[in-house]
Amino acid sequence: MKKLLSFALVGLMVFALAACGDDGGDTGGGQNNIVLTYADWGDQELNQVMIDAFMEEYPNITVKLREDITGAGAEFTGNLLNAQAAGVLPDVFAIDNVPTGISNGLGLDISEYFDADPDTQLIYPNIRETGVYGDQRLALPTFQFIKGIYLNITLFDYYGLDLPEKDWTYEEFIQTAKDLRAAGQNDYVYGIDPWFGQLDFESMFPMQDHEDVGYNTWDGEQFNFNTNMWIDAYNTKIDLMAQDVVAAYSEADLNAIGGADVWPWFEGYVGMKIDGSWNMWMIEDMFDENGQEVGFWPYPGGDAGQFPPTILDFAMVSSQTENPEEAYLLAKWMTFGKEGWLSRLDAMEQRGDTYLDRYPIADYPEVWTAASDYTIFIEGLQDSIDNLDNAKPDVDKWLPGYKSFWEWVGNEENDYWTQIDEGTVSPETFAPIWEEKINEMVQAALNEIGE
């Protein structure tokens, strides 16, 4: 890590020296000229077009796109820490893990600007509450990705199975998976391609059955694992995994359908895939390459209704910025702001993009009308979008202690994953232990931020 830091520092100091050549950021010689920098791991071509549009709107502000901070996710965040150490942290940046940014002092409290901005009241309420710690807003939610069910319509047609309704329940989802497996077992067809190798039932089902429960039973104050709703969902997951319905290809199976490198879902051997909208590219590619027609059904509901699960990304305004108000304007433009979104969609149209994989977190009718050019052609997607008022966002990137808890679950001493796979421990046994531990770790982390 020290070697990584030293190499990164050299590059970043070069950047800092180059920046000094701008005479303190005064690009036009006038005292009102301000220079800001921006970094994220996304589409840099699109970022530059949006930045150009921002500078047209605010001619007294020059924005430089920082492409020297590379990587994505945790790697990108690590490179932000290197930039901070070199004193050249971007004025605005995306971040994979907000608590990591907070604990290292990367972020500025932007409450003053956020609270005074009337547009923030258009952010969907459940999303607006994220990124706030006590009386400080240390992160800005940026986009929401929709979690749903990619559904292979071609495979349903091939086996003569009726497509499920868009307002289906998770019981119907499970039965559909079983029907697919029964119809296509001799052809190596499975019902479900799971979420990162596992079913997500305990995270999703309780919030479909209880209106006041959010992602993975988080209710705004604590997690509720030691409950029938969470334990029953976990047992349902274990049972279904054991019924040979969830995709689990042996080496012999893979060889039979094309070889060890084949992706069964992409080749049309799995009926449904639990996944996020960031993989929307699959719909076009599966049709173009394999003739598979794929839709994106809403995540199935439960007793309380149908609440779309969404996954949030975040940005921060730098604690090192010398221009916090202008940095907030840039952060808004690149994330949730109406003008920024319209410039994004216009740029996508100009270059011929065919799908949209992330969606606004604020309810701007003009933006949604423009975005519909990308959403109405994917069967099922608009149903989720029309229901985003009821969405329940995840906590992965912003709730402190959450990531640490899962590291605790899988560490060498506990190794719960092996115990669960081997059936040596049941949800009834570990639910109370997990609930106590996660709430303890989250509360301790929140208290630390408060201090």
CA atoms of 38 and 49, how far apart (whole Å):
13
CB neighbour class for 400 (10 Å; exposed up to 12, middle 13-18, buried from 19): buried
Among the three residues 309, 342, 361, which one is the final residue of a domain in this structure?
A: 309
Domain identity same for 217 and 270: yes
Considering Cα of 128, then 331, then 337, then 26, what sign does the dihedral take? positive
What proportion of the chain, given as a percentage, has pLDDT over 70?
A: 93
> What range defines the domain where residue 108 resides?
2-144+312-392
Same domain, 127 and 176: no
Token code pair at residue 86? 């070199």
Inter-CA distances, 427 with 229, 238, 251, 302, 438, Å: 11, 10, 30, 21, 15
Q: Which residues contact 275 (CB under 8 A, 6 or more apart)?
A: 147, 148, 150, 193, 195
Note whether 36 and 329 are within 8 A (CB): no
pLDDT band at 29; cut points 50, 70, 90: very low
Q: Are residues 299 and 321 in the same domain?
A: no
Only one residue has tokens 């992160």, namely 139
Are residue 10 and residue 53 in the same domain, yes or no?
A: yes
Position 448 in a domain? no
* 152 and 131 both lie in a single domain: no
| CATH number, residue 251 | 3.40.190.10
Q: What value does the mean pLDDT take over residues 20-25?
A: 37
Give the count of domains, the chain: 2
Confidence bin at 2 (pLDDT 50/70/90): very low
DSSP of 60-87: TEEEEE--SS--SHHHHHHHHHHHHHTT
Whether residues 305 and 170 share a domain: the answer is: yes
| Short-list 347, 373, 394, CA closest to 43 | 347
Distance CA 363, CA 350 (A): 24
CA distance 439 to 284: 42
Tokens 């990164």 belong to residue: 8
**DSSP line for 198-248:** B--HHHHHHHHH-TT--GGG--SS----SSHHHHHHHHHHHHHHHTT-B--
Sign of the alpha-carbon torsion through 251, 253, 258, 262: negative
Let me know whether 36 and 178 are in one domain.
no
Backbone angles phi, psi at 148, to 5 degrees: -155, -160
Distance in angstroms (rounded) separating the CA atoms of residues 331 and 333:
5
Residues 100 and 240 grouped into a single domain = no
pTM: 0.91
pLDDT of residue 366: 97
Amino acid at 113: Y
Which pLDDT belongs to residue 73? Answer: 87
Q: Is residue 192 part of a domain?
A: yes
Domain co-membership, 221 together with 283: yes
Q: How much is the average pLDDT of 169-177?
A: 98
pLDDT in tens, 199-252: 999 999 999 999 999 999 999 999 999 999 999 999 999 999 999 999 999 999
Q: Of the residues 392, 408, 432, which one is the last residue of a structural domain? A: 392
Q: What pLDDT, on a 0 to 100 scale, did the predictor assign at position 82?
A: 93
Q: Domain end: 309, 338, 373, which one? A: 309
